Amino acid sequence: MNRSRIVAALGGAAAISLALAGCSGGGSGGGGSNTLTIEDYYQANYDPIYKDCAGQVGAKVSINHIAGAGLIAKVLQQASSKTLPDVLMLDNPDVQQIAATGALSDLKDYGLSGDGNVDGVTKAGSYKGTLYGLAPVTNSIALYYNADMLKAAGITPPTTWDELRAAAKKLTDPAQGVYGFAMSNINTYEGTWQFLPFFWTNGGDEKNIATPEAAQALQFVVDLQNDGSMSKSSITWAQADVNNQFIAKKAAMMINGPWQLPALNAAKGLNFASIPIPVRESSQKIVSPLGGETFTVPNTGSKDKMALAGKFVGCLNSEKMQPKIAQVSGNVPSNQKVADAWAKTHEQVASFVTTVKTARARTAELGEKWPTAATAIYTAVQLALTGKETPAAALEQAQQQNK
């Protein structure tokens, strides 16, 4: 996400499949060089990780960082022109869409599997039962709170919706411009990503988003706004904006991810902690969306290069490398055993380690059709929060898009 970034639906899948079917060789993996080309939307702080694994598998690396918004368009162009990189990073919701074009190879061909990983990680990297991508680290979202504000108000961190609503109302101070709660309800996939814990945990289903359970979840978010506990500006806030509100102490609690920790830790005088997002009933288990980027081995036509790329992806996903990547990214190791050990020494991500155990891949139910549902969901949230429709009516209207 992203790290919560979810890429829009891809077009031209059939055309790409035909182009790949006619590929008998070439691509970026051609030739006898042991240099692997890597493509991602990360920044240069990942380069030492790549060079570490390259050294371990006897390779060199040529790294190409692409802006996130342009990565998928670039991949589609590369697939049609047979110039795919040797190692391709994809946001996990994009794996199924790209795999459907025939652009990716089966990771089991390189002896790789998702054994030991959080279940959602393997599902997110799979398409029609075949594993195409593995994520060394993963993430989700949790409830951050300003510990000093809660203590001053005599509030225990909330674990249920009722507790969250009551706490948010008590922590709101209009005179100081302070809201008790903040989340992103923007009309992009970030808005869907942040609403999903309420939607899924309460029994919402993306095959039919217009259910009483979904309406109940959306009504809860509307109630937070109507109470005055959540700013009406949340419909325009991305997750970074929400984080800025929290850092400025204009929001006492917020929903956000572990990728915000560097900024939070750098903020002077900010005493914060996080817990899993509250649920409607204490008997419920939180179901949040699973974030994180996967590494894949594209079909370049060069079996030797693809085998070397497979070793490289295996190195990135090893139990040895996952903590190193978690340290760089602020995310959670995907291997359950490694994640549990990581939480013991990294208290700030403990809530995320708990959350990802029951987190769900966004493409788990609808596969490559997920973006249509994601659009319908954030559309419903916008309609309800702007008062154009009731939550139930907003969901009914948005469901018409979700066909």
Asked whether 107 and 131 are in contact (CB, 8 A), the reply is yes
**Which CATH number is 13-139+290-356's, of 3.40.50.2300, 3.40.50.300, 3.90.650.10, 3.40.190.10?**
3.40.190.10
Q: Report the C-alpha gap between 25 and 52 in whole angstroms.
A: 29
pLDDT of residue 252: 98
Per-residue pLDDT tens digits for 38-56:
999 998 999 999 999 999 9
Whether 13-139+290-356 shares its CATH topology with 142-288+372-399 is answered: yes
Rg for the chain (alpha carbons), in Å? Answer: 21
Q: Report the C-alpha gap between 27 and 85 in whole angstroms.
A: 8
Structure tokens at 49: 């990780």
Q: What are phi and psi of 89, to 5 degrees?
A: -90, 135
Q: Partners of 64 in the beta sheet?
A: 39
Which of 114, 165, 160, 116 minimizes the C-alpha distance to 278? Answer: 160
| Secondary structure element (H or E) that encloses residue 38, with its range | strand 35-40
Return the domain boundaries, the chain: 13-139+290-356, 142-288+372-399
The structure tokens 């179901």 sit at 287
Which of 309, 321, 334 minimizes the C-alpha distance to 38? Answer: 309
SS3 of residue 131 by DSSP: strand
pLDDT of residue 12: 34
Q: For residue 219, give the amino acid letter.
A: Q
Q: Report the C-alpha gap between 196 and 107 in whole angstroms.
A: 30
300: left (phi over 0), alpha (psi -120 to 50) or beta: alpha
Q: For residue 77, give the amino acid letter.
A: Q
Q: Report the C-alpha gap between 143 and 282 in whole angstroms.
A: 16
Could you report how far apart the first and last alpha carbons of the chain are, in Å? 25
CATH numeric code, 142-288+372-399: 3.40.190.10
Structure tokens at 92: 């996990």
- Along the 403 residues of the chain, how does pLDDT read in single tens digits? 544 343 333 333 333 333 333 333 334 444 458 999 999 999 899 999 999 999 999 999 999 999 988 999 999 999 889 999 999 999 999 999 899 999 999 999 999 999 999 989 999 999 999 999 999 999 999 999 999 999 999 999 999 999 999 999 999 999 999 999 999 999 999 999 999 999 999 999 999 999 999 999 999 999 999 999 999 999 999 999 999 999 999 999 999 999 999 999 999 999 999 999 999 999 999 999 999 999 999 999 999 999 999 999 999 999 999 999 999 888 999 999 999 999 999 999 999 999 999 999 999 988 888 999 999 999 999 999 999 999 999 999 999 988 7
Per-residue pLDDT tens digits for 120-138:
999 999 999 999 999 999 9
SS3 of residue 14 by DSSP: helix
pLDDT of residue 97: 87
* Cβ-based burial of 194 (10 A; exposed 0-12, middle 13-18, buried ≥19): buried
pLDDT of residue 158: 98
Asked whether 322 and 136 are in contact (CB, 8 A), the reply is yes
DSSP 39: E
Per-residue pLDDT tens digits for 253-294:
999 999 999 999 999 999 999 999 999 999 999 999 999 999
Measured in whole angstroms, how far is the alpha carbon of residue 126 from the centre of its chain? 16
pLDDT of residue 31: 40
In 84-230, beta strands by DSSP E: 87-91, 126-127, 130-131, 133-134, 137-138, 142-146
pLDDT of residue 160: 98
Q: What are phi and psi of 268, to 5 degrees?
A: -75, 135
Which of 332, 313, 6, 365 minimizes the C-alpha distance to 134? Answer: 313
Q: Report the C-alpha gap between 211 and 127 in whole angstroms.
A: 28
Q: Report the C-alpha gap between 163 and 186 in whole angstroms.
A: 25
pLDDT of residue 403: 77
pLDDT of residue 16: 33
What's the pTM value of the predicted model, to 2 decimals?
0.87
Asked whether 112 and 222 are in contact (CB, 8 A), the reply is no
Structure tokens at 66: 């692409």
pLDDT of residue 381: 98
Asked whether 246 and 194 are in contact (CB, 8 A), the reply is no
